[in-house]
Amino acid sequence: MKKVLVLCTGNSCRSQIAHGYLKTFAGDKAEIYSAGIETHGVNPKAILTMQEDGIDISLHTSNNINEYRDIDFDYIITVCDHAKEVCPFFHSNAQLFHYNFPDPAKAKGSEEEIKRAFEYVREMIKKYCMDFVKDYLVY
């Protein structure tokens, strides 16, 4: 079974959303992990935006990359430039992927504008994850 790590700065929004979609789309074809260079806790707005699309990430935890040092990943996906730049070296043959998604947690404006920012990023990540699973995890 393939092992996939989604890595972000704080493991609160983008990596959590990607984790939820990858797990949903890959089913039993892969083990999905997410982590951050730091841990900021799972953002309640990320939980809400995923619930609106039928995926429950409310029991996810915010994990530090160091918790997964001993796992031999097949794929590591960085979802922000900062995580890519400071991604620690793993002793593995993992294939590295990168996509710099906007950070919805930094959205400004009214509650409705912030909600739309989360939905926008969610849809970007959803498409990316769907394509990733089709191209790398489902044979």
Does 87 participate in catalysis according to the annotation? yes
Distance CA 76, CA 95 (A): 6
Catalytic residue among 29, 53, 87, 107: 87
- DSSP structural state of residue 64: B
Active-site pick, 5, 55, 80, 117:
80
The percent helix, strand, coil of the chain (3-state, each to 5) is: 45, 15, 35
36 phi, psi to nearest 5 deg: -130, 160
Which is catalytic among the residues 6, 7, 8, 125?
8
Task: Indicate if 13 belongs to the active site.
Answer: no
Catalytic residues: 8, 80, 87
